[in-house]
Amino acid sequence: MDRSLKVALVTGGARGIGAAIAARLARESWRVVVADVDARGGVSSGGRFAICDVSDESAVNALIASVTTQEGRLDALVCNAGVNERKPIGELSLAQWLRVIGTNLTSTFLLVRAGEQLLRASRGAVVTVASTRAHMSEAHTEAYAASKGGLVALTHALSISLSPEVRVNCISPGWIFTKGDAPRPGDHAFHPAGRVGTPEDIAALTAFLVSPDGSFITGSEFIVDGGVTRKMIYPE
């Protein structure tokens, strides 16, 4: 293995946005380590796949230890793993709440804590993937909204604590089409940008933020939603 290659760790990289980020970085000659609980997930060329529940402290520590041993460096950490439990708050159990908070929010704390020295040594970058749900909500999404709002705040806190060696930024996607029924014409028209987002939209911004071109950007949140959160909506 060529240890001169920059190394990126992408959590939740088996499918959807994470898979697109991993593929984009691999195309740009990064060695990519994809971590996910879904063993069926593919592996981008030039990297490897690791099964990891990122809400579990011992699993995260073992993952970072494997990066230290096998790759020998860590230049970018992309905290993308996420789950949701959508149900009325009266039906949401504490275990379900903790699962969402653990996977979506606590995991970033665990990963950065374990990978801090590697990231400082490489003068690397962290990208967290939150959501526009940090700023706006549908009913019955309390755990998800809380986790994503916390992730935005954790991002700017980390950007100060890890400075100047490590840059930390957050991407908050809006409607990104990854699965299910294809968007309808009206769904595209609802967006000021004229279309629903794709995983590649998020991957492109991630690749920029971890590159030298993003070297003056830290502590920022980038809302990538086709303009929806800026759109006034009146009842018809």
SS3 category, 126: strand
**Catalytic option among 104, 144, 196, 203:** 144
Measured CA distances, 74 to 13, 98, 169, 181, 203 (Å): 16, 29, 16, 37, 18
Q: Report the C-alpha gap between 221 and 92 in whole angstroms.
A: 29
Q: Which residue has 């003068």 as its token pair?
A: 123
Whether 234 is catalytic: no
Report residue 205 as tokens. 């911004």
Check residue 72 and give left, alpha or beta (phi > 0: left; psi -120 to 50: alpha). Answer: left
Q: Report the C-alpha gap between 78 and 59 in whole angstroms.
A: 17
Secondary structure element (H or E) that encloses residue 50, with its range: strand 48-51
Report residue 85 as tokens. 């439990």
Active-site residue set: 144
